[in-house]
Structure 1
Amino acid sequence: MTSTNLTCFSLSIDDHIAHLVLNRPETLNTMHPTFWRELDGVLDQLHRDAQARVLVISSTGKHFSAGMALDAFGGELTLQDQTPEGRAAVFDQLMDLQSTFTRLETLRIPVVVALHGGCIGGAVDLVTAACIRYASADTFFCIQEINIGLVADVGTLQRLPKLMPMALVKELAYTGRRLGAEQAKVHGLVNEVFADAAATLAAAMQCAKEIAAKPPVAIWGTKQALNYARDHSVDDALKQMGWLQGAIWSNAHVGEAIAAFQTKRPASFPALQPLKSFREL
């Protein structure tokens, strides 16, 4: 097992499962500049080193996260609206923030989140980019941006309609109302609701354990195919599936999976290839 303590997170990797914990409960795990820098770095590490086969994200304290730290809108991060040039720069500043949560979608491994308490504002942006969402009974979701005069702009309005009915998304986005865990489950935002945070995390870790036991390259291919199918026609997605399967097919992996099943033993599969940037060569 390896573990790393950062300012806003703790990261551990054990038995091919990475567990990233938001660990600033005294600030309600709000998202200030250090949060973004550290999350970027962790996701880059997990993407490149191939040590983990699945990522679980959980949190501490009263709420999963209260979203963007309000003081982040001051000082150097102030969005300038006095000139065309300043307003044009907003595009690039937002793209930079959006890219961090997009990393969760493009990460080579699945992402499972264990939610409790409030999932507010930017936290909704984060969790909608995950693959699987488990929630405790006290979890609620709130598109908080509209309540402070903003349009949600880091992924919620783009990803949430892929997960829930558009009419409900519009209601939440226009009013800033809270959506409770049970209703979120009914409408497909969360996979399952559990009694408390401990039970929710246990379910997330069990799911992660099952994922980590599968061939990593087949999991990678499955995530690629699902994300592609979400945004393309069935015909295009079927063609992409053919190219993808042809690229990663392994008789050895299939044989190992079948043999392990028949002999009731854990299967053994190679890890994904670690990545090295061309600039590092």
Structure 2
Amino acid sequence: MTHNFKNKLGEGGFGSVYKGKLRSGHIVAVKMLVMSKANGQDFINEVATIGRIHHVNVVGLVGFCIQGSKWALVYDFMPNESLDKFVFLDQGNNIPLNWERLYKIALGVASGIEHLHQGYESIVSLTAARGTLGYIAPELFYKNIGGVSYKANIYSFGMLLLEIVGRRKNVNAFAEQSSQIYFPSWIYDRYDQGEDIEIGQATKDEKKYVRKMVMVALWCIQMKPVDCPSMSKALEMLEGEVELLKMPPKPTLWSIENHEQSMVVVPISSSNSMGTIALNGRYCYTI
């Protein structure tokens, strides 16, 4: 199905994803789970949860496979691959997107996550922190700030929003100025001082899109889960008027984490399942 795993699409905290083809000719994305980071219950939870979800912004689960020690989840393939190829300016095959399109992408991701969160508000019991470094919520490491819940995804979404706005990874050791190495801290200070970021020849509406994404992102990456909005509230803030958004407090912890991966993998809901967000069938981003 994957031709001996020749075409690797990406890698996250739970394993690698490969392009494959079913006998019917259907092109798929195959997620091979790392056994040391997964267990039977996680696998069953993901199949049960994602298998019954139908949403325009969530990639559908085609099937699963268990062969000895090899466990795989099979998803629909998104032909335009990962969102980072359309967002980060340092990508060789980057296709520039205007701010209106980036804003709509942010709305699509928020809508997909909000759909996954419906009905899940309980605290999750985890034996170890999982996910891709740079997107993992603080509560997965610091137990004294609150239990792990669906809000772990909200932190990850906030970090993604900042990458969309910055058109770069949040950590860049080669930034022109040392203050810009960790983008979330730099952008907070700019906005706290009443300064916007320079975005070229942007229209008035585009500047509003950027400001909304920044403000919502800064609320989403608050250190304590109780201070973060729900996903439905974050979506409401993105869709609302920018003038109604208030500046959040600066998080007490600005954690500089390694951004070696371009795909986000974090627990979703009380079942510890994972989901892959598709943006109207054109772009995809794994969360």
TM-score, structure 1 normalization: 0.27
**Greater helix fraction, Structure 1 or Structure 2:** 1
Asked which structure has the greater RCO (Cα within 8 Å, sep 6+), the reply is 2
Larger Rg: 1
TM-score, structure 2 normalization: 0.27
